[in-house]
Structures are given as C-alpha cells and as structure tokens.
Amino acid sequence: MIALAGLGHSFGTTKVLDGITFSVRPGEIFGLLGPNGAGKSTLINILITMLRRKEGSVLVDGFDPDEDPDLVRARLGVIFQDSTLDERLTLRENLRFHSMLFGMSRTDTDLRVGESLADVGLTDRADEPVMRLSGGQKRRLEIARAVIHRPKLLVIDEPTTGLDSRARKEIWDRIKALNRDHGATVFLTTHYLEEAEVCDRIAILDRGRIVATGSPDEVRASGGYDRVRIKTRRFAEVGAAAEMMFGARVAPTDAADSIELFVADGSALIAGLYARFGASISVTEFRKPTLDDAFIALTGNLPDDPDSGAALHMRNLVRERRLV
C-alpha cells in the first residue's frame, strides 16, 4: 500500500529524512514511532502530497504523490494531529463539504453522512456547530469524516494526543474497527508506546533514519536488554562472572546487597549463575525489555509518553534533585 525506497528530504542544509526504506502492506495497521523532531511529520507530509520530496521514490497504492497528487489524495483519508474541522459549520455541513470535494454524489453524500454520524454516536448533534463538541467528540467526528469517502489508506498523525484515557481507548477501538470492517490500511504516528503494541508492525524513526522495523515483538527484542536483579552478598564475584560468561552489563543499585544485570538472554544468565553460585544468590526481579526500553536503546531518547515507566523514573529523578 505504501512503498518507500531511499526517501530523503532536507530543509536548507538540514537533512531531515535520509534513506528511508520500508513498506506498508495492504490491510495492516502500521505505526511510525519516533521522538519529537525525528522527521515523522515530514514523512507524513510527503505521503499525503503536502510536500514534494527531494530524493528517493514513494508509491501510495501504486501512485507517486508528486506525479499524481489527485489520484493519491482520492485514495487517502487523513487525520491531522490538530483539528481541521470548521468550528462554525455544523457537523453535517463539515461532512457534506468533505464528501462533495471527494467527488461523492449527492445521494451517496446524504446517505453516508447520516450513517457516519450514527456510527460515531453524534446523530443528535448533527445540526449544531462543531464548536460545541468536546475534544473527544471532535476527534470522533474527524475520524468519521476521514473515512466517509472509503479511503484505501488511512493516515493518522498522533491519533490520541491530548485526549483522556477513556477517549483514547474509544478512538483506538474505532481505528481497529475501521481496519477490520472496511479493510482500510492504517498508517499512523504515535509517541504513546503502549499504543504501538496495537500495531501489526512498527518502524522507529530517529534523526531522519529508520533504526528498526518489524512487529512490536521483534522491535522489542532488537533494541532492549533483559534486566535481571540479583540479591547476593558476593556481588563482586557474581558481577564479574556475568560479565565474563554472558557479556552482561553490571549496574549498582540503591540496595547494598543487590546488583542489576542487563543482558540479551536473561534466562540463560540466570541458569548459568545458579549453576555456579547456587543458593548464595537469589533473583529478585527479571524483566523482559519493553518497547520503552527498545525505544530508549535505539534512539537514546526517553519516550514522550507521560505514563511510561522510563519517563516517570526520569521525572522522579529530576524532582529529587530539585528537592535537594
């Protein structure tokens, strides 16, 4: 559905996208992750014909956005990060405007506008101006609008930024339903890593380059390390052995009798250490890497997710420092 090969772009002398190559298969939900400034918006703008690329090739459903923008636009449903509704028009007028510009007949328009409003539970608000809706309702309306012309590809920039958790869940259920019921391919960007878990496949973009692609499981495995916390009085010996035998990285902890080990294969490490040290050690924590860990390992950045463990940890550290 999307095929990018060697896509590059620059603003002035600043290279913002460099050698981007990946493809999105028909019918999948594909997530593009990356810290702020990674180039996500630029990539989306190129896909949706808002920006002409400088290098490489881009095909959307077989068409080049630079060569045939109208053919690409007709296939796309786009939901931008910030609202693009006309607040003064009514819900119905917003949907009608969109439908007519996408070349739908009058009968089709009337039919589907009614359907869409019912679908997102806004039928009774149809003739009110959009400005009276809540943030979550506006988002639902935007989703309804973006798919009213039955696009093959739905492009969503940060679908849930600024929404509360209930509204976020609602939006995600809707995206999944669209994907399932209409077979629409979904390409989205997000910095909520737990949302990336919903995707069939993800790519991580960092400073204009793709640093990982695959299913969330694959990416998680490629980036992060297993974390093993061991309680022992012989930590110097244990640490040295873990380093030598398994290439583990050893980190001190806040407890005097514990160390933390970061290693590719945590299970093998634990088995090896038990075989050697027996009862003088005990494993108090064993954690597989999360997508957060992979993200940090791959980009050197903390994810922006306010709920994520790493961000929380960092904030706590900062808070502690400030107190001192």
Partner 1 sequence: MSASAAADIVVIARRDLSRNLRQRNQWLGAVARPAVWLLILGAGLGTGRSADFISGYSYRQFTFPGIVVMGILFSGIMSGASIVWDREFGFLKEIRIAPVARTSILVGKLLAGTLLSLLQGIAAFLFFPFIGIGMTPLKIFLSLLCMAITGTLATSIGILLAGFVKTIEGFGNVNNLLAMPLFALSGAVYPLSGAPEWLKRVAYFDPFTYAVNLMRNAVLDVGAYPIADIAGLLLLTFMFLAAAYLRLDL
2 belongs to the binding site for partner 1 (CB under 8 A) = no
Spatial separation of the C-alpha atoms in residues 95 and 109, rounded to whole Å: 8
Q: Which stretch binds partner 1 (CB under 8 A): 8-16, 30-38, 82-90, 167-175?
A: 82-90
Buried b (16+ CB within 10 A) or exposed e, 9-25: beeeeebbbbebebebe
Binding partner 1 by CB under 8 A: which of 78, 95, 196, 261?
Answer: 78
- Provide the terminal-to-terminal Cα distance of the chain, rounded to the nearest Å: 54
Check: CB of residue 249 under 8 Å from CB of residue 225: yes
264 belongs to the binding site for partner 1 (CB under 8 A) = no
Q: Which stretch binds partner 1 (CB under 8 A): 59-67, 86-94, 160-168, 245-253?
A: 86-94
Whole-angstrom Cα Rg for the chain: 24
176 belongs to the binding site for partner 1 (CB under 8 A) = no
Could you tell me the smallest distance in angstroms from the CB atom of residue 82 to partner 1? Answer: 5
Binding partner 1 by CB under 8 A: which of 10, 18, 59, 89?
Answer: 89
127 belongs to the binding site for partner 1 (CB under 8 A) = no
The neighbouring-strand residues paired with 263 are: 226
Check: CB of residue 184 under 8 Å from CB of residue 151: yes
Could you tell me the smallest distance in angstroms from the CB atom of residue 148 to partner 1? Answer: 12
48 belongs to the binding site for partner 1 (CB under 8 A) = yes
Could you tell me the smallest distance in angstroms from the CB atom of residue 262 to partner 1? Answer: 44
> Which residues, 6+ apart, have CB-to-CB distance to 191 below 8 Å?
33, 34, 35, 36, 158, 161, 303, 304, 305
Could you tell me the smallest distance in angstroms from the CB atom of residue 77 to partner 1? Answer: 9
Residues that bind partner 1 (CB under 8 A): 48-50, 69-71, 73-74, 76, 78, 80, 82-89, 93, 97-98, 100-103
